[in-house]
């Protein structure tokens, strides 16, 4: 229970279905440092609201201390990715390394049969086992974050609101009289107090450097590569500010931000590593739908090659701002097949073939 409306309604639905429900929240915020700035999900205030929801539903509630687990599995990799010029999505690691790994194991130790969350994901049980499918609300589908779920955890996970659309969830919350019924959605990274730039500045010393074009010509200056991401066009001090330029790559070794036109930010071929599949590798289709950014519809692609540790995608149409560190997630129709971390992109630039190769 994150203190939001989706997990609150999930708990209520499970209770009404006859399950013995235990509410739990993972704590990762510090004892004192800037706690007042935590205003997202899974914050001290959210814990208070989750406990009130549990009380109103007549179920027990526990706050589980996961600070060390978060630091090791989420926060440290998050910072290291930015140091290496990549842009991570910590929600992916939270689900794969914490919720559906550590928390599932904890639930088993406590004698629980399942871990349920408020994700907008549909679980479909088949003779061959559970499958994860895109949620019925296309604006809220969250399968993109779940590709890293360990296969052995699939049968242990439930998604009570995955078949619903968001307005229906809020209507149910009103019917249950839950205090979270009208709570706005959080868009923040839950463990970051304040802004990402402030958070990174405390852990990575900013170092100014050059902004260059694909040919290596200096066209401006930047305040630290960790403050930029692929596709960004604001925040750079360009010598010719009238030109529209986008970040197309980051070179942390040279401390350079490389910029180009919007067309030069397109990618059609990419390498994905650190993969996890929810199906057998041998059963993967050649033609898939692939998603390389949350809040983006999947696009048609060819799975050129796939093994236990990596796969390569070739999209039918160029994709804008494919970003190293983000996830590439593959589907067969609505079914989630798996995914991995984007580590290599090939950018087609008219004057040259610019290749970004970042090892995992």
The residues carrying an active-site annotation are 94, 190
- Calculate the alpha carbon distances from 167 to 162, 164, 210, 326 in Å: 13, 8, 47, 29
In whole angstroms, what is the distance from residue 86 CA to residue 33 CA? 27
Q: Reduced to 3 states, what is the DSSP secondary structure of residue 255?
A: coil
Instruction: Name the strand (E) or helix (H) holding 108.
Output: helix 104-109
User: H helices of 254-309, where?
Assistant: none
In the block, which residue shows the tokens 């463990």? Answer: 191
Dihedrals phi, psi of 208, to nearest 5 degrees: -65, 150
- Calculate the alpha carbon distances from 228 to 81, 191, 255, 295, 345 in Å: 12, 20, 12, 20, 17
Structure tokens at 271: 């390498």
Strand extents, DSSP E, 203-296:
209-212, 218-222, 237-238, 246-251, 256-260, 266-277, 287-291
Dihedral angle computed from the Cα positions of residues 298, 92, 332 and 117, in that order, rounded to the nearest 10 degrees: -110
């Amino acid at each position: 229970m994150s203190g939001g409306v989706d997990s609150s309604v999930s708990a209520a639905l499970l209770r009404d279905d006859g399950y013995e429900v235990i509410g739990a929240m993972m704590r990762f915020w510090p004892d004192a440092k800037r706690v007042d700035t935590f205003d997202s999900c899974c914050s001290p205030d959210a814990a208070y609201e989750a406990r009130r929801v549990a009380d109103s539903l007549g179920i027990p509630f526990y706050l589980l201390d996961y600070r060390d687990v978060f630091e090791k599995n989420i926060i440290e990799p998050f910072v290291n990715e930015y140091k290496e010029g990549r842009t991570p999505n910590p929600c992916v690691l939270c689900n794969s390394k914490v919720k559906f790994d550590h928390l599932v194991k904890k639930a088993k130790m406590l004698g629980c049969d399942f871990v349920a969350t408020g994700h907008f994901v549909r679980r479909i049980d088949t003779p061959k086992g559970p499958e994860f499918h895109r949620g019925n609300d296309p604006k809220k589908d969250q399968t993109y974050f779940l590709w890293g779920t360990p296969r052995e955890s699939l049968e242990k996970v439930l998604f009570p609101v995955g078949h619903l659309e968001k307005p229906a969830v809020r209507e149910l919350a009103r019917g249950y009289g839950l205090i979270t019924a009208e709570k706005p959605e959080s868009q923040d990274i839950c463990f970051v107090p304040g802004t990402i730039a402030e958070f990174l500045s405390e852990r990575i010393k900013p170092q100014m450097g050059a902004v260059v074009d694909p040919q290596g010509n200096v066209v401006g200056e930047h305040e630290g590569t960790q403050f930029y991401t692929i596709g960004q066009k604001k925040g750079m001090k360009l010598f010719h500010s009238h030109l529209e330029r986008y970040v197309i790559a980051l070179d942390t070794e040279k401390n350079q931000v490389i910029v180009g036109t919007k067309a030069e930010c397109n990618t059609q071929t990419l390498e994905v590593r650190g993969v996890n599949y929810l199906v057998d590798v041998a059963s993967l289709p050649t033609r898939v739908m692939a998603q390389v950014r949350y809040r983006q519809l999947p696009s048609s692609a060819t799975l050129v090659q796939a093994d236990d540790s990596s796969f390569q995608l070739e999209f039918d149409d160029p994709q804008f701002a494919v970003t190293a560190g983000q996830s590439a997630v593959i589907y067969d129709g609505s079914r989630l097949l798996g995914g991995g971390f984007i580590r290599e992109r090939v950018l087609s630039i008219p004057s040259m073939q610019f290749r970004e190769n970042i090892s995992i």
